[in-house]
Each structure stands twice: as C-alpha cells, then as structure tokens.
C-alpha cells in the first residue's frame, strides 16, 4: 500500500507539468497525494473495517473533494451523484486503488472476487475489472508464491491476456504526449516498469520517466514493486509527511494487519 502511495506522490507533479528528466528529485514541495492515494486508502478502509466498497469510496472522495490533479470527470460525476451507478468504465482508476486487496486476502479466489467487487462499483467494464484483478493477483503472487519476474510475466499473459510492451515503446509514447488513461494501457506499462527495474526506487523512476499518467503509472508500478522489493525507509518517511492524520490511521491499521502475512521482500 505504501508502495502505491509513494508512486502517486512522486508522480504527482509531472502529470500536468513539465516532462520528467533523468535524475529528477523524488519528493519536492510541488508533490502531493492525489485521487490515487485517496481511493487506495478507501479500499483498505473497506476491507479492514467491513465497509461496502462504494460506501468507503464515496466517503473518502467526498471528504477530499479537491485533490491535486482532480478526479477524472466521469468519476467526479459518480462521486457527487445522488444515486451513484457503475459507469461501464475501463479507466485505470480501478487498478490504481486495488493494491490493499492483494495483501489483505491470501486465497486466489478471494483476491479475484474482491478485486472485481472493488472495481465494479464504478468501473464495471470487463477491462476495468480485469485491470484491478491483474494487479491484485500479481501482488499476491509475488508476496506469497515468491514467483520470479519471468514467471509473473507469463502468468499475466496467460490469465489476463496482457502483453507487456518493451520499455522503448512506452518511453516513445510518453515523449509524444500520450496520456495512458485506460487499464489496457496503464496496467501493462506499469508492469513493464516493474519488470525492467532492479529496485523499488528504480521502478518508481522508470514509471515516472514514461510520462503520460505519471502518478497512476507510478502508483500501480509501486504497488507491485512493494511485494517484491524492500521499500527504502527514507522513502516511507518522506511519503507519510504528505498524508493527513485520517489516512495515516488507515495506513497504520493496514500494516498492523499484514505484519505476519508474508516473508521479507527481496532486497
């Protein structure tokens, strides 16, 4: 979960700003949490405290109505609707918020089902659901099964049909100003950034350097990388300084719950 939040914060200042350059500073006063963090916290709160996914998302998003970068226009309408209904969306929002499910459930069937439920309240298009299921299941594979990166890539292809594009293609698309707002684009791109990196920090840097939807790509890539690499303590300390007390409360509750649920990450 903190991996997703770090990616969101680091990528936040580039989403609508100048293109990132090699060696960019990770945390600056121009960074902030965005809707990615708010929604991730909401999903964690729902599972930890027995809340309905829709109820929790509406609560947290209405509590924080003006995050950096704003909410997507259709999701904004959903938040403020008197009677919210799923939007048949395949936007990447379903995948960027799902990481807590990959940690809080251990059985394959439960991870798949809960990821579907968490997505379907707003992103009920098959591609929106698939994106959430893929990221949650990948996290579970890495933390419990200790699969290698090549094995994960094969399983992502077999079970979810995603072909991970080469990094050179992702960088080219980003340099052309394309904004990867769908699960079909962002999920395989974020996974490629994780596959090609050699550390948690490098995963975040690669995802941001791909430009486009930098906060969400780094959020998804960071959520997966946390299940494989040790997250540097200094990055955790920097990230939590951006968060308000109620989010920190859910974060603390989350790590208290999972502290005995997996072995140490790879270095």
The annotation status of 211 as a binding-site residue, yes or no, is: no
Supply the mean pLDDT for the chain: 95
Ramachandran assignment for 254, one of left (phi > 0), alpha (psi -120 to 50 degrees), beta (any other): alpha
In this prediction the pTM is 0.96
Confidence of residue 265 (pLDDT cuts 50, 70, 90): low
The annotation status of 34 as a binding-site residue, yes or no, is: yes
Percent of the chain surpassing pLDDT 70: 97
The annotation status of 216 as a binding-site residue, yes or no, is: yes
Longest dimension (CA), the chain: 47
pLDDT the model gives residue 261: 59
Q: Do residues 39 and 61 touch, judged by C-beta distance below 8 A?
A: yes
Confidence of residue 263 (pLDDT cuts 50, 70, 90): very low
The annotation status of 213 as a binding-site residue, yes or no, is: yes
Report pLDDT digits (tens) over 211-246: 999 999 999 999 999 999 999 999 999 999 999 999
pLDDT the model gives residue 146: 85
Ramachandran assignment for 177, one of left (phi > 0), alpha (psi -120 to 50 degrees), beta (any other): left
In the chain, alpha helices (H) = 2-12, 35-48, 53-63, 73-80, 93-96, 99-104, 108-120, 126-140, 149-155, 167-175, 183-196, 200-209, 214-226, 233-240, 245-258
In CATH terms, the fold of domain 2-16+32-70+86-258 is ADP-ribosylglycohydrolase fold (1.10.4080)
Report pLDDT digits (tens) over 5-27: 999 999 999 988 888 999 999 99
Q: Please give the full DSSP string across 199-259, using - where no structure is assigned.
A: SHHHHHHHHHHT-SSHHHHHHHHHHHHHTTBPPPHHHHHHHHTTS-HHHHHHHHHHHHHHT
Nearest C-alpha neighbor of 209 from the set 3, 18, 31: 18
The annotation status of 110 as a binding-site residue, yes or no, is: no
The annotation status of 35 as a binding-site residue, yes or no, is: yes
């Amino acid at each position: 979960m903190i991996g997703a939040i770090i990616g969101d914060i680091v990528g936040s200042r580039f989403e609508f700003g100048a293109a990132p350059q090699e060696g960019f500073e990770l945390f600056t006063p121009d960074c902030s949490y965005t809707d990615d963090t708010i929604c991730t916290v909401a999903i964690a709160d729902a599972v930890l405290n027995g809340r309905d996914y829709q109820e929790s998302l509406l609560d947290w998003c209405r509590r924080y109505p003006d995050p950096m970068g704003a909410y997507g226009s259709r999701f904004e309408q959903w938040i403020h609707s008197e009677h919210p209904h799923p939007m048949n969306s395949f936007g990447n929002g379903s995948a960027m918020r799902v990481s807590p499910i990959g940690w809080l459930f251990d059985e394959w069937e439960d991870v798949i089902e809960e990821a579907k439920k968490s997505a379907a309240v707003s992103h009920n298009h098959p591609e929106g659901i698939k994106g959430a299921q893929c990221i949650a299941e990948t996290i579970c594979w890495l933390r419990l099964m200790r699969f290698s990166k090549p094995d994960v890539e094969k399983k992502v292809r077999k079970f979810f049909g995603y072909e991970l594009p080469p990094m050179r293609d992702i960088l080219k698309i980003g340099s052309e100003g394309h904004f990867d707002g769908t699960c079909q684009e962002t999920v395989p791109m974020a996974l490629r950034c994780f596959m090609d990196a050699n550390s948690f920090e490098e995963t975040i840097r690669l995802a941001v350097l791909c430009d486009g939807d930098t906060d969400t790509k780094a959020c998804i890539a960071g959520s997966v990388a946390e299940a494989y690499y040790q997250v540097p303590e200094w990055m955790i300390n920097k990230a939590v300084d951006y968060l308000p007390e109620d989010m920190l409360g859910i974060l603390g509750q989350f790590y208290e719950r999972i502290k005995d649920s997996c072995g140490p990450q790879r270095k």
